[in-house]
């Protein structure tokens, strides 16, 4: 799905005009169905540590064409810079500068990934070097061309580079499933998680709840989780009953009609799950609304519903699910090692004019998952969030044409994302391999020009 401007600048006359005038020229973004290869080769692994050697060996095991230098390569599909043992800023150039001479040889849709450690606030020189990786990575993402992306993995000290969370994050970032994720750093804080053997059905045997599932991003999430092998429970308000039933029939899912803002919504959800003999391994809290207005004209009628749906409902539903008990307990509705993924927004990170209510609710989601992750740790579970940027949906299609067109171009990839881009990131966070990511918010925004 492309917008009219993108279709024009990809035509022969459009290409010529865009080049002459200097207009944005969005490149095609290969997604799962377009690029089935797990890794775009050849792959160059940069770095001098044992960790770099480990990553190279892992990639060889994945069937990748792995090199340690750029010499004699006319084209490069993937670059992985392993900087896990840097101790001073001078180390950055020694490892990273070989990539500078190879930037023009990167293939369309290329992937660059850094693997490093977070600053600890202990050694100034080492922390300066570690912090420098982030600045390098975010700037490089703005310079990638032809649909290429640049992302990073921050592995906490004590987390080996072959830990499930590190390798799972690497696999996701190298795949076509991360097409609209760029300029981001995934933080792996623990060695929890396990390797997924079934690459075709990584969520096989797991049951997932998706709220706000009847249409748009929610429906895309449900379809993607189902494609990855999950059983589905789909939930939406009674007013969306027709669309919900249609989706449930398509996916052979269990439908639940429920207003998530009702005072007893959590208890009713638990009762519905018990009645249907469903135990959740994954809960995707996607239900959300907007009621935009400049704050000078904001009223309780616009403020309260947004906070109620977008964040208060997430708190009440997760409270009810946790209080109903974990795996092994009588009447439990949560399975082993549950995954909770909440929908935040880049508006909750950078703010947005006319969206004080929406931004407050989404910033609340980001803080909520951080706290919820600590609460779920005793169950072996995780909580994370996904923050979409401009995504092509029915809601964005109703924006004023000029505003919509500008919003599409204000990211490094110069185009809007698709609902499936959000869904693919959620599917990764729901996987067994993502057990080491806790309390994180992953932006799916093509690297907006505002915010982090």
Query: What are 109-150's pLDDT values in tens digits?
Result: 999 999 999 999 889 999 999 999 999 999 999 999 999 999
What digits encode the pLDDT tens for the residues 160-203? 999 999 999 999 999 999 999 999 999 999 999 998 888 889 99
pLDDT of residue 452: 45
A 10 A CB-CB count for 196 gives 18
Confidence band, pLDDT 50/70/90 cuts, at residue 442: very high
Q: Give whichever of 22-26, 157-161, 325-329 has the largest mean pLDDT.
A: 157-161
The b/e string for 223-253 (b: 16+ C-beta within 10 A; e otherwise) is bbbbbbebbbbbbbbeebeebbbebbeebeb
Residues 6+ apart with CB under 8 A from 232: 207, 208, 210, 222, 225, 226, 248, 251, 252, 253, 254
DSSP label at residue 26: P
Q: Beta strands 441-444 and 280-285: pairing type?
A: unpaired
pLDDT of residue 328: 65
pLDDT of residue 451: 45
Q: CA–CA separation, 242 vs 16, rounded Å? A: 47
Q: Examine the pLDDT at 338 and tell me if it is beyond 90.
A: yes
Cβ distance 347 to 354 under 8 Å? Answer: no
Q: CA–CA separation, 227 vs 234, rounded Å? A: 15
Q: CA–CA separation, 49 vs 316, rounded Å? A: 47
Beta-bridged to residue 154, according to DSSP, are 116, 187
Q: CA–CA separation, 310 vs 292, rounded Å? A: 14
**86-98: average pLDDT:** 97
Query: Of 42-51, 229-238, 326-335, 373-382, which gets the smallest average pLDDT?
Result: 326-335
pLDDT of residue 450: 54
Q: Examine the pLDDT at 444 and tell me if it is beyond 60.
A: yes
pLDDT of residue 449: 65
Query: Locate tokens 């950078």: which residue?
Result: 350
Closest CA to 169 of 188, 150, 182: 188
Cβ distance 424 to 11 under 8 Å? Answer: no
The b/e string for 117-154 (b: 16+ C-beta within 10 A; e otherwise) is bbbeeeeeebeebbebbbebbbebbeebeebbbbbbbb
Question: Can you read off the two tokens belonging to residue 228?
Answer: 């990855």
pLDDT of residue 326: 66
What positions carry a catalytic annotation? Answer: 358
């Amino acid at each position: 799905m492309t917008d009219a401007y993108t279709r024009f600048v990809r035509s022969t006359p459009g290409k010529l005009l865009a080049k002459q005038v200097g207009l944005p020229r969005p490149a095609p973004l290969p997604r799962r169905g377009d690029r089935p290869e797990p890794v775009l080769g050849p792959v160059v692994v940069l770095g001098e540590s044992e960790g770099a050697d480990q990553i190279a060996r892992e990639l060889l095991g994945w069937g990748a064409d792995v090199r340690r230098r750029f010499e004699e390569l006319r084209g490069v599909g993937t670059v992985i810079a392993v900087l896990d043992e840097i101790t001073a800023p001078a180390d950055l150039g020694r490892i990273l500068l070989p990539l500078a001479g190879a930037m023009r040889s990167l293939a369309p849709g290329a992937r660059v990934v850094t693997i490093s450690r977070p600053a600890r606030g202990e050694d100034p020189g080492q922390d300066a070097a570690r912090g420098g990786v982030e600045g390098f990575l975010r700037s490089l993402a703005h310079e990638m061309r032809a649909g290429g992306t640049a992302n990073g993995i921050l592995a906490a000290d004590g987390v080996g580079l072959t830990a499930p969370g590190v390798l799972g994050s690497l696999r996701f970032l190298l795949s076509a499933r991360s097409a609209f994720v760029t300029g981001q750093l995934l933080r792996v804080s623990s060695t929890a998680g396990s390797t997924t053997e079934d690459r075709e059905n990584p969520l096989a045997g797991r049951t997932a709840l998706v709220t706000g599932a009847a249409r748009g991003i929610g429906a895309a999430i449900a379809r993607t989780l189902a494609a990855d092998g999950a059983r589905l429970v789909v939930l939406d308000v009674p007013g969306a009953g027709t669309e919900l039933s249609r989706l449930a029939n398509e996916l052979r899912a269990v439908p639940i009609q429920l207003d998530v803002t009702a005072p007893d919504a959590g208890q009713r959800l638990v009762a519905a799950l018990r009645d249907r003999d469903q135990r959740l391994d994954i809960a995707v809290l996607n239900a959300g609304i907007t009621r935009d207005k400049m704050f000078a004209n904001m009223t309780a009628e616009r403020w309260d519903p947004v906070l109620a749906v977008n964040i208060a409902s997430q708190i009440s539903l997760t409270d009810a699910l946790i209080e109903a008990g974990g795996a092994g307990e009588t009447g439990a509705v949560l399975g082993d090692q549950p995954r909770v993924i909440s929908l935040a927004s880049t508006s909750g990170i950078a703010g947005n004019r006319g969206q004080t209510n929406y931004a407050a609710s989404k910033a609340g989601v980001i803080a909520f998952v951080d706290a919820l992750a600590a609460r779920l740790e005793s169950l072996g579970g995780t909580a994370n969030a996904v923050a979409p940027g401009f995504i092509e949906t029915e809601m964005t299609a109703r924006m004023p044409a000029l505003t919509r067109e500008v919003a599409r171009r204000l990211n490094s990839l110069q185009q809007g994302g698709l609902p499936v881009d959000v869904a693919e990131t959620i599917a990764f966070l729901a996987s067994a391999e993502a057990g080491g990511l806790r309390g994180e918010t992953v932006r799916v925004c093509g690297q907006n020009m505002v915010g982090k």
